[in-house]
């Protein structure tokens, strides 16, 4: 997979770029580390005598780490570590593989045509978040022998343990005098595997040179592993603004947290703000994967913001210093976030934030794993935010996203009109409240305006209410004696036009020239020949 943006979800790059790894640890493959979204396994490799056992022993007691016992087919030697290894016959080894009691295994070529088999017991979910495998060089010299295939690829870092040849010989002599004197071929074979051979095959190298146990190697490795455990336990909380949540917020927050879970992360969606009228009861009944309260904050929580980027308006529980990603289609805060997030902000002027989130599903190749609920949400958010692709904020990207999402949704054929009619129903029930929720007082070109907006499928029902004007004025809080310029923009999506409601003569004249609103039928209702949004009308009033 290749992404055309710096990937803030890469655990590997976070480790290799930001942490102090200690003097004995070096990064060998930064590009491979950049590609790792999760690290759940660590394979420790290195020539005989480099200090693998000591390094692995340094992390056995780390909370969250599991070091499975290793089974191998050679007989035990003097000073062998029987905590690390269980010695079995080749026949017994095959039986254990058959029975599923050895889960990860491989074959090591020894001197002559001798081979030995190595393997580990299976891990259970309770064993810890990171498993440390004490391997050997056969894992890269004889990669094809690794079973199951690919088991040590995706979420695995390879750590090489290195010591100079002199150190290595001295250690082998001290550790296995019986091998050195009794089996010189094996000793010569082991020494022939140069310690530097490991270097091209690993992501990190731990240098253990010096007297056994004296160096910083094991301690530095322990710190590295603790950091990896912390990252494996990291929790992402996807959230948005404090004031209210519209359909775009609900969709974006739910969808991005689902994507993070599909990518192997611990993630949840949290919205404590009230849902507004763009989230009607049918949508609320979809068993939304969104939590309504936020508890249990910890230093290991990271925040992702969706459909908002102004830090002054985010949910109050968000610590801006722990925000790692921002997705928004309202521009203005790009510099603020680009400086903090090294280009990881996703602020782009499209019709809906939901479009940006859907594009991330595709970037990560997770589009065909999207759940029906989340596809329904993203689809509805794009449809709603762009007024069925009619509004001026609509881009080609929104159209493409809506089209692609239509393959994953499960919605009635007339969902668009059904959705808006449900919203319309709520507006009809409380016109004053609905108008009041979307009224803005603005200074435009030196004049004071009060402008409200309602979006419905068909304006007919509202317009036939004899008290409509009085309700609008009550909702907007306007008084003809005080407020000279005011109007309601009643967007009639199914008709593809707007109705402009105002009893102010000066406003009628202004909108007659600005957007050709036709008030010729008399009264307070003007009509346009295309659909306008308030944000399109405002610049035309200057
Ligand atoms: Mn939005």
- Domains belonging to the chain, first-starting first, are 11-232 (3.40.50.300), 235-411 (3.90.1640.10), 429-541 (3.10.310.20)
Please count the other Cβ atoms lying within 10 Å of the Cβ belonging to residue 373. Answer: 19
Find the 352 Cα to ligand 1 centroid distance in Å. 5
Radius of gyration of the CA atoms of the chain, in A: 32
Any bridge partners for residue 527, and if so which?
A: 499, 518
Find the 329 Cα to ligand 1 centroid distance in Å. 6
Residue-by-residue DSSP string for 79-92: T--TTTEEE--HHH
Find the 510 Cα to ligand 1 centroid distance in Å. 29
Find the 323 Cα to ligand 1 centroid distance in Å. 19
Nearest-10 Cα torsion for 469, 473, 478, 484 = -10
pLDDT of residue 409: 98
What separation, in Å, do the N-terminal and C-terminal C-alpha atoms of the chain show? 49
pLDDT of residue 124: 81
pLDDT of residue 435: 94
pLDDT of residue 243: 87
Find the 249 Cα to ligand 1 centroid distance in Å. 6
Find the 385 Cα to ligand 1 centroid distance in Å. 7
Find the 112 Cα to ligand 1 centroid distance in Å. 68
Strands 447-456 and 301-306, sheet pairing: unpaired
Find the 350 Cα to ligand 1 centroid distance in Å. 9
Give Cβ neighbours of residue 121 (< 8 Å, ≥ 6 apart).
68, 69, 71, 101, 102, 103
Find the 488 Cα to ligand 1 centroid distance in Å. 22
Find the 351 Cα to ligand 1 centroid distance in Å. 7
Cα 246 to Cα 307: distance, rounded to the nearest angstrom? 10
Q: Nearest-CA neighbor of 16 among 180, 190, 157, 154?
A: 157
Q: Nearest-CA neighbor of 306 among 265, 347, 262, 278?
A: 347
Find the 499 Cα to ligand 1 centroid distance in Å. 24
Q: Which residue bears the tokens 């400086």?
A: 339
Please count the other Cβ atoms lying within 10 Å of the Cβ belonging to residue 446. Answer: 6
SS3 487: strand
Find the 349 Cα to ligand 1 centroid distance in Å. 10
Sheet holding 115-120, edge to edge: 85-87, 70-72, 115-120, 104-109
Q: What single DSSP character describes residue 363?
A: H
**243 and 196 Cβ atoms separated by less than 8 Å:** no
DSSP H helices in 164-311: 165-175, 177-182, 184-192, 217-232, 247-262, 281-284
The secondary element (H helix, E strand) that includes residue 506 is helix 505-515
Cα 96 to Cα 119: distance, rounded to the nearest angstrom? 10
SS3 442: strand
Find the 472 Cα to ligand 1 centroid distance in Å. 25
SS3 string, 322-346, reads: HEEEEEECCCCCHHHHHHHHCCCEE
Cis peptide before 148 (omega within 30 of 0): yes
List the chain residues with pLDDT less than 50.
Answer: 1, 212-213
Give Cβ neighbours of residue 455 (< 8 Å, ≥ 6 apart).
387, 420, 423, 491, 493
């Amino acid at each position: 997979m290749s992404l055309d943006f710096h990937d803030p979800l890469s655990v590997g790059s976070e480790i290799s770029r930001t942490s102090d790894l200690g003097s004995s640890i070096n990064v060998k493959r930064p590009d491979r580390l950049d590609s790792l979204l999760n690290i759940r396994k660590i394979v420790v490799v290195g020539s005989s005598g480099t200090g693998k056992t000591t390094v692995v022993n340094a992390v056995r007691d780390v909370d969250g780490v599991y070091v499975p016992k290793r089974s191998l087919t050679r007989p035990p030697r003097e000073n062998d570590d029987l905590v690390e290894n269980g010695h079995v016959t080749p026949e017994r080894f095959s039986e254990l593989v058959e029975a599923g009691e050895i889960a990860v295994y491989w074959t090591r070529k020894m001197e002559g045509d001798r081979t030995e088999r190595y393997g580990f017991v299976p891990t259970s979910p309770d064993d810890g978040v990171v498993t440390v495998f004490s391997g050997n060089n056969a894992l890269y010299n004889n990669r094809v022998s690794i079973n199951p295939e690919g088991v040590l690829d995706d979420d695995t870092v390879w750590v090489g343990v290195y010591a100079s040849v002199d150190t290595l010989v001295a250690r082998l002599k001290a550790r296995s005098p019986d091998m050195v004197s009794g089996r010189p071929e094996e000793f010569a074979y082991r020494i022939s595997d140069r310690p530097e051979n490991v270097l091209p095959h690993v992501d990190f190298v731990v240098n253990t040179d010096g007297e056994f146990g004296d160096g910083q190697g094991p301690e530095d490795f322990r710190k590295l592993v603790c950091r990896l455990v912390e990252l494996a336990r990291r929790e992402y909380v996807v959230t948005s603004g404090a004031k209210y949540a519209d359909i775009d917020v609900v969709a974006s927050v739910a969808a991005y947290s689902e994507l993070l879970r599909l990518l192997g992360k611990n993630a949840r969606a949290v919205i404590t703000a009230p849902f507004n009228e763009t989230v009607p009861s049918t949508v609320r009944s979809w068993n939304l994967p969104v939590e309504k309260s936020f508890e249990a904050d910890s230093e290991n929580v990271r925040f992702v913001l969706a459909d908002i980027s102004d830090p002054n308006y985010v949910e109050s529980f968000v610590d801006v210093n722990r925000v790692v990603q921002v997705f928004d289609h309202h521009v203005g805060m790009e510099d603020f976030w680009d400086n903090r997030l090294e280009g990881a902000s996703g602020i782009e002027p499209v019709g809906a934030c939901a479009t940006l989130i859907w594009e991330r599903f595709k970037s990560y190749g997770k589009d065909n794993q999207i759940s029906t609920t989340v596809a329904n949400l993203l689809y509805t958010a794009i449809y709603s935010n762009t007024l069925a692709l009619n509004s001026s904020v609509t881009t080609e990207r929104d159209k493409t996203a809506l089209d692609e999402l239509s393959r994953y949704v499960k919605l009635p054929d007339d969902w668009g009109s059904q959705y808006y009619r449900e919203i319309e129903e709520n507006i009809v029930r409380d016109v004053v409240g609905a108008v009041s929720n979307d009224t803005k007082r603005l200074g435009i070109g030196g004049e004071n305006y009060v402008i409200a907006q309602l979006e419905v499928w068909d304006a007919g029902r509202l317009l036939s209410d004899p008290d409509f004007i009085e309700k609008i004025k009550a909702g907007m809080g306007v008084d003809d004696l005080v407020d000279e310029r005011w109007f309601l923009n009643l967007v009639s999506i199914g008709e593809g036009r707007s109705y402009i409601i105002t009893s102010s003569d000066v406003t009628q004249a202004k909108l007659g020239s600005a957007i050709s609103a036709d008030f010729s039928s008399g009264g307070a209702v003007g009509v346009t020949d295309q659909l306008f949004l308030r944000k399109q009308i405002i610049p035309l009033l200057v």
